[in-house]
Amino acid sequence: MKIATKEKIGNLAWGDSNQRGDIFSIYFYHKLAAPVVQILLKTKITPNQVTYFGLIPALTSIVLIATGKYPMLLFGALFLQIAQLCDYVDGTLAKVKHAQSAFGEWSDGFVDTIKIVGWYFAFAIGYYNQQHNLNVFFLLAVFLGVKVLTDYTTKAFVSCFNEEGTPLNKDMQQNLISRFPFLKRVPIGLVRVPVGGGIFPVLLTIGLLLNQLLLPFYIYVTLHILNGMKTVAYIFIKYRKQ
């Protein structure tokens, strides 16, 4: 079997991340993943094995972060980044090996859910162990609620359009747009807000290094809301121009 070059692997990863507009994925994670994928191509290791292997550093980081002790937070940041790198390696490896599958996609989502929810709770518990303030769990509920709400509303809006941004049901779109009149005033520049999956672990790592466990979530929730508005505004602007 001909081994793909690091450049070809990088180009494949670049194309995938560029479509998602995730600058951290493009310029950091996928570049780190490319040489790892090149090594794994010489082995019998499967993408699904990489996916589930990523649980080991992820769970390790969760335990370390939950202690709230600064030396442990640094190690937690390291394992967090290893877990995140695995998330990029498995997808690129699957594409290069032409081993994409429904089970692999499900596994990736399953592991991602465990990681993200686990990190949310780990940061909250870690902050509690530092400050002994129960209000952090109220904030945790708010953060999770905002994330779920923005995810749901964005997906509900986007599901009414095809890949080109054309409405699938014009009557439904007229009804939806009448409910979002504020979007007429959304500046087009907002759609260029660079938010994606890669920013979350970067913010978490910064918070760990600075020993500021709540800071990443304040920033991320704000960016998450902007990202949801960006998606809706982008589609609305395309529809408005038709």
Tell me the pLDDT tens digit for each residue of 95-108.
Answer: 888 888 888 889 99
Q: What is the pTM of this model?
A: 0.76
- Greatest Cα-to-Cα distance within the chain, rounded to the nearest angstrom: 57
Fold of domain 6-241: Four Helix Bundle (Hemerythrin (Met), subunit A) (1.20.120)
The percentage of residues in the chain with a pLDDT greater than 90, rounded to a whole number, is 34
pLDDT in tens, 140-191: 998 888 877 777 766 666 666 555 555 555 565 566 556 666 555 555 444 4
Query: For residues 93 and 179, which has the higher predicted lDDT (pLDDT)?
Result: 93
pLDDT of residue 196: 58
Neighbours of 98 (CB within 10 A): 6
pLDDT of residue 185: 54
Q: What tokens appear for 53 in the block?
A: 């292997």
pLDDT of residue 169: 57
State the sign of the Cα–Cα–Cα–Cα dihedral 127, 129, 135, 139. Answer: positive
pLDDT of 209 over the 90 cut: yes
